[in-house]
Structure 1
Amino acid sequence: MAWMAWTWPTAAFFAVIAALLVIFTIFAIRYPETPRTGVLGIETTRGDRLFITLLGSAFINLAWLGLIGVAQPAALIVCLIYAAAVFRWV
């Protein structure tokens, strides 16, 4: 990884994303689900909700950096609340 100039937080971020994809794949195989319709009015599965959560979290973190600065631990809390809401109601 030295040739890419990665830092440990960057590597940890991508490792968590890879782990989430593996876990959700195992869930999809072991516990198949039917799509459900939430507040957006579209049918979503666990994978769709994960994608919506990751995309929304990226925008939350970008907005946080632009408006507040580098204190990202509080943005993580906002992202976790957002993720819980997406998986509950979307």
Structure 2
Amino acid sequence: MEADILQRAARLVQSMYWTGPTAIFFAAIALMLAGMTALQLAWPTVERKGFLPMTTTRGDRLFIGLLGSAWIHVLWLATMALPLWWASTLAILWFAIVMRFG
């Protein structure tokens, strides 16, 4: 049973088209999740109210920041002819603002 699950997972990973940026993206997400887990264990989160219309925890703000960053990139690709690095810069700024003040 476990061997079957591992074989299916290995097939899934092998079927993906891994590029450098894709690997960096997934590694960054994994590092963020590991960091958030370590922070939660060291300093449990306290809900707070920022500029977002609800009380949020660190994990909530992480999710909102990532989701907003994805939407920034999608909208950029749909509406702009400028390089995607501009959208990435905007997304990093959005993410930092949500994590700090959200």
Identify whether the pair has TM-score above 0.5, normalized to the shorter chain: yes
Q: Which stretches in structure 2 are left out of the alignment for 5+ residues?
A: 1-12
Structure 1 runs (4+) deviating above 6 angstroms are none
Indicate how the Cα distance of structure 1 residues 88 and 5 shifts in structure 2: closer, same or farther if over 3 A, else same.
closer
| C-alpha deviation, 1:66, in angstroms | 1.0
User: Residues 24-43 of structure 1 correspond to what in structure 2 (within 5 A)?
Assistant: 24-43=36-55
Structure 1 SS opposite 2:45: coil
Distance 1:69 1:56 in 2: 20
Distance 1:13 1:69 in 2: 23
Q: 1:20 aligns with which of 28, 32, 47?
A: 32
Give the count of matched residue pairs: 90
Q: CA RMSD in A?
A: 1.6
Give me the TM-score of the superposition, normalised by structure 1.
Answer: 0.88
Distance 1:69 1:6 in 2: 26
Give me the TM-score of the superposition, normalised by structure 2.
Answer: 0.79
Q: 1:49 aligns with which of 47, 58, 61?
A: 61
CA deviation profile, 1:17-49 (whole Å, cap 9, x unmatched): 011000000001011121101222311111110
Alignment of 1:88 onto 2:100: yes
Q: 1:72 aligns with which of 65, 79, 84?
A: 84
Identity percentage over the alignment? Answer: 42
Distance 1:55 1:28 in 2: 21
CA radius of gyration, larger in: 2
